Amino acid sequence: MSKFWFLLTIAAFARYAFAADNGLAITPQMGWNTWNHFGCDISEDTILSAAQAIVNYNLTRFGYEYVIMDDCWHAASRDNASGAPVADSTKFPNGIKDLSDKVHALGLKFGIYSSAGTYTCGGRFGSLGYEGIDAKTYAEWGVDYLKYDNCYNEGRAGTPLISYERYANMSRALNATGRPILYSMCNWGEDGPWNFAPNIANSWRISGDIMDNFDRYDDRCPCTSVIDCKLPGFHCAMARIIDFAAPVGQKAGHGHWNDLDMLEVGNGGMTFDEYVTHFSMWSILKSPLILGNDVTNMTNETLNIITNKAIIDINQDSNGSPANRLWKRSIDGGGDLSLWAGGLANNCYVVALLNTSPSSQTIDIEFSDVFFDQGKQAQSQTYTIYDLWQKDDSGSWGKNLGTVQGSFGNVSVGIHQTKVWRLVPASLPSQRQILDEL
């Protein structure tokens, strides 16, 4: 191991001590969840078919690892004698332990869902007051991941401390099982989890539920910002969540991430360019990348998006810093143009230009903007630019566009499109290697 990688490893482990302390999600977790496509209509077969498809499509090579069973796996009630959770025996005739064994046998990890309330959002029994026995049972079932929702919380929210205590309870219960279980909090951003959750959870949802739509306003997602939002709701269009995420990037890091919600790529409500925007922005903002489509039946377009290694590498970069929005300009006719940048390992940078307006935009990107934080020296450096949504001659994502200094000009971004570039210092010896290795 080179000295560089050694130091990097130390740095990663030193930082995870501030997270849930389970050593998980050092980079944002990746996987698949039943909810966005199947809702309550799930069974053993839904999960095993998806797991098999993930393997067949080689998605594991890109980092997709967790297969997560969302709401509605439950029996009508808990075990009356012990209080332990029980699964629906019609949908899961062989039980959950058997299911998780089969998922593990495919080389994947298994996730489950519950709510920090008396009921789940789908009206099944919740975990409030049953944290200990639920965590213990999940561990016995071989669960590796818990998505923990916020429905029917009996009013135990309203201040960060009240929410913290309800969610920390399950965090401690998971820890007490001795099994490393990734803890994915889903309290929709209530009471600002970015402030109170970094040392109890691996990720926390920042807003109401995503809707498979680019930017349609819906009153069921009424807040204009997630800071002090009193009704997170649902039907939050994808571009609205990007806007919500912009100010809270500063709170994420190794082992504790802002969760922008599960992906809709492949579910049909957006165009190809809009899904590219969705996947790009979730990646550079270091959201968990949890697929929400039917992975057994994907178009090549969908597959192309979710297997763009150059973009996934940005999400999984060892630096662990979400990109920051440098500016946002309103465009006549609605929507806006925004410039984003973030630091990556090896002194590389990611730069993205997002256009949510209904017309194509062409601009020059100034290094005085991109490297505003880094100062004059970085601003005057020469960089090699890779366009991460173009393939090079060998068919790999990340086309070399040459070197630039001071600015890169005449950049066009189409309607609802996002362009993403990796900037590599031109002084670094083996450029392509950096792209391929990370």
Ligand X SMILES: *[C@@H]1O[C@H](CO)[C@@H](O)[C@H](O)[C@H]1NC(C)=O
Q: Is 297 in the site for ligand X (CB under 6 A)?
A: yes
DSSP code string of 131-168: HHHHHHHHHHHT--EEEEE-TT-TT--SSHHHHHHHHH
Q: Is 22 in the site for ligand X (CB under 6 A)?
A: yes
Q: Is 269 in the site for ligand X (CB under 6 A)?
A: no
Beta partners for 330? 336
Q: How far is the CB of 219 from ligand X (least distance, A)?
A: 30
Residue labelled with tokens 């209904």: 358
CA atoms within 13 Å, Cβ hemisphere of 271: 9
Per the annotation, the verdict on 219 as an active-site residue is no
- Options 1, 2, 3, 80; binder of ligand X; rule CB under 6 A: 80
- Options 412, 427, 430, 433; binder of ligand X; rule CB under 6 A: 412
Amino acid at 175: N
Per the annotation, the verdict on 21 as an active-site residue is no
- Options 14, 39, 58, 334; binder of ligand X; rule CB under 6 A: 58
Q: Are 189 and 149 in contact (CB under 8 A)?
A: no
Interface region with ligand X, contact rule CB under 6 A, candidates 69-77, 197-205, 333-341, 347-355? 69-77
Q: Is 300 in the site for ligand X (CB under 6 A)?
A: yes
- Cα separation, 181 vs 126, in Å, equals 18
By beta-carbon proximity to ligand X, the closer residue of 107 and 334 is 107
Q: Are 335 and 358 in contact (CB under 8 A)?
A: yes
By beta-carbon proximity to ligand X, the closer residue of 285 and 305 is 305
Site string for ligand X, 119-148 (x = CB under 6 A): ----------x-x-----------------
Q: Which of 70, 209, 212, 261 is catalytic?
A: 209
- Options 4, 45, 77, 437; binder of ligand X; rule CB under 6 A: 77
Q: Is 410 in the site for ligand X (CB under 6 A)?
A: yes
Q: Which of 70, 71, 144, 149 is catalytic?
A: 149
Q: Are 170 and 135 in contact (CB under 8 A)?
A: yes
Listed residue (232, 216, 213, 234) closest to 224, CA to CA: 232
Q: Is 50 in the site for ligand X (CB under 6 A)?
A: no
Q: Is 2 in the site for ligand X (CB under 6 A)?
A: no
Q: Which residues contact 106 (CB under 8 A, 6 or more apart)?
A: 51, 52, 54, 55
Q: Are 189 and 206 in contact (CB under 8 A)?
A: yes
- Cα separation, 353 vs 339, in Å, equals 5
Q: Is 315 in the site for ligand X (CB under 6 A)?
A: no
Binding site for ligand X (CB under 6 A): 21-22, 57-58, 75-77, 79-80, 86, 129, 131, 169, 172, 175, 178-180, 297, 299-300, 410, 412
Q: Please identify every residue annotated as catalytic.
A: 149, 209
